[in-house]
Structure 1
Amino acid sequence: MSDVPNALRGNGIAVAVQLLIVRDGRLLLTRRHNTGFADGDWNAPGGRLEQGEHVLAAVIREANEEVGVQLVPDEVRMVAVLHIQSPLGGTRIVFTFHAETWTGEPYNREPERCSDLRWFGFDEIPPATLLSTRAGLNLFLHGEHFGVCGWSQHPSVDG
C-alpha cells in the first residue's frame, strides 16, 4: 500500500497540456498514429504531466519531444483550461498554451506515434480533430479562458 494519503492521490482525473503553435494565422497539428487512442485524428502537440512536473515545464517538454521546437517560458502563454468528460468515462483537465515564437523548425520527432504534421488555417481544422484541441482553439479564438466539454448539464465549447 502506498504511503500517500487518499486525499493526495487524486480521483482518476488526468492532467494534461496542449500547445497551440501558431504561425501566419495557421495552427500546427499532428496526426495520431499507433497510440491506441483516436489514431488517425489530429491534435495539438501535448500530453500528460509527468510525476513532479508543473504545467509550464510539461508543455515545454512536450513541444520539444513531439515537434522539436524549443520554447522560452516567458514567451508561452496559458490561454485556457478545459474540464473534459470523455464519452468513454475518463475525466481530464487540459491546460491550453499558446506560442507564436519558438526556436527550431517543427518536424515530426515521434514517427512511431505521429503519421503527419501540418499547418491548418483556423477555419480549416479537420473534422477528425480531438475534442480537447477543438475546444482549446475555440476558447483561444474567442478570448475565453475556461470551458467544460462532454458534461450533459453544460453546453459544450468545442466549436
Structure 2
Amino acid sequence: MEPTESLLLDDQLCFAIYAASRAVTAAYRPLLDELDLTYPQYLVMLLLWERESLSVKEVAAALHLDYGTVTPLLKRLQGMGLVARRRRTDDERGVDAVLTDEGRALRERAHGVPVGMAEAFGLTDAQRADLRDRLRALVRSMDAYAGAR
C-alpha cells in the first residue's frame, strides 16, 4: 500500500505544532538561563508577576497542567526563594503560591525575555497577535474535542 498524503509526516499539522513548540522552547533557553529559570518555571513566574498570589489549582488551570506537575514546580521555585507556598486560611487542603520580594525583583531582570523572543519570532506585532489568537482558538477547539469524547 502506498502512503497517502495524509500519512506523510510533513503534511501533519500536529508535527508542525510540535516542532514549533520545541523550537520556541529552545529559543527561550539562553534567555531564561540568565534568570536561572526553566521555561515551565518562567510561566509560573509570569502568572505570579501578574497576580502576586494564586492557588495551586489556579496555576494548574492557567498553564493547562495537573497538580502533580505544578506542585514540584512550585517547590523548586520556593527553594530558589522566588515563591512561598502557604496553606489557605479558608480551606487547609488548599495551597496558595505567593510571590516573594526576591520573586518580584526577578521581574525587573526578566524584561529582556519578551523583547528577545519578539526578535526571534521575526514577526510584526500584528502577526504575533494573529498567531497567538489562532493558537488560542486551536487550544479551545482541542479542549472541546477532548471534552466531547
TM-score (norm 2): 0.24
Greater share of helix residues, 1 or 2?
A: 2
Larger radius of gyration: 2
TM-score (norm 1): 0.23
Greater share of strand residues, 1 or 2?
A: 1
